[in-house]
Structure 1
C-alpha cells in the first residue's frame, strides 16, 4: 500500500508462497514508496540484496526464476493500471471476485475497496446490486 495525503491506497495482495518485494527500491537501492503489511500471521523468508546477487552467480536457474516472477508482477500491475482506467468500479469488483475468489473472504472490505479505488460504502452498494 501507499499513503497518499493521509489515505492508504492498496494496490496489490500477496498470498502464501508468493514473493513480495519493492522491485524499484531493490533495484535502485533506495527507500520504497510503498509499505508491505501482513493481514494474517505470517512466516517470512528474507533474501537481502547481497544474497540475491550470490544466488544469481551460483545458481543459473535463479536468474530465470527471478525474471519470470518480475515479468508476472509487471503483467499484473499493467492489468491493474488499465482496469483502473477502463473499468467502472462494479466491473473491477466482478473481475476481483473472478480472478481472486480466495481473497474475497480473507481480506477486510476496507482493503478491497481501497484496491478497487472506491469507498467501503460504495463496495457495499456494489455488492448489494450484484
Structure 2
C-alpha cells in the first residue's frame, strides 16, 4: 500500500499507538526514527504492575493518553477538512524548527 506520513514527533513527545493500547494488538502504524530515540514497549500486565508500585505514574500516564487522543482527533479532523497545502502551512507556522530537522521526503 501507499505510505502516508500522518505525524511527526520531536523531543519530549510521546508517540503512542492508541488502537494497539486499547485492543492489546500489534500497531497498524510504522514508526521511523531519524534521531536517537528511547522506545518503551510493554503490555497490559506490565503496566498494571508498574501502576501498582507507582500510583502517581498511572495518573501521569492517563493524562498523556488523554492529551494524545485529543491531538490525534484534531489531526484526523484536519486531514479531512484541510488540503495538504493548508496542513503544511499550519505545520510551518506551529512547528517551524521541525521542518529543518526532517528530510523533505517525509
Both proteins in one fold, TM over 0.5: yes
Looking at secondary structure, tell me which structure has more strand per residue: 1
Matches within 5 A, 1:25-36: 25-36=20-31
Q: CA deviation at 1:98?
A: 1.5
Q: CA deviation at 1:43?
A: 3.8
What is the aligned partner in structure 1 of residue 104 from structure 2? 109
What is the aligned partner in structure 2 of residue 120 from structure 1? none
RMSD of equivalent CA atoms: 1.8
Q: Structure 2 length normalisation: TM-score?
A: 0.83
Contact residue 9 and residue 15 of structure 2 kept, 8 A? yes
- Pick aligned residue for 1:84 from 79, 87, 94: 79
In structure 1, stretches of 5+ residues that fail to align are 112-130
Task: Count how many residue pairs are aligned between Structure 1 and Structure 2.
Answer: 105
* Corresponding position: 1:69 with 2:64: yes
Assess, with a 3 A threshold, how the Cα gap between structure 1 residues 102 and 51 changes in structure 2: closer, same or farther.
farther
CA distance in 1, matches of 2:48, 2:103: 37
- Deviation string for 1:18-41 (max 9, x for gaps)? 22232222332212111111112x
What is the aligned partner in structure 1 of residue 48 from structure 2? 53
CA distance in 2, matches of 1:67, 1:56: 11
Give 4+ residue runs of structure 1 displaced > 3 Å after superposition. Answer: none
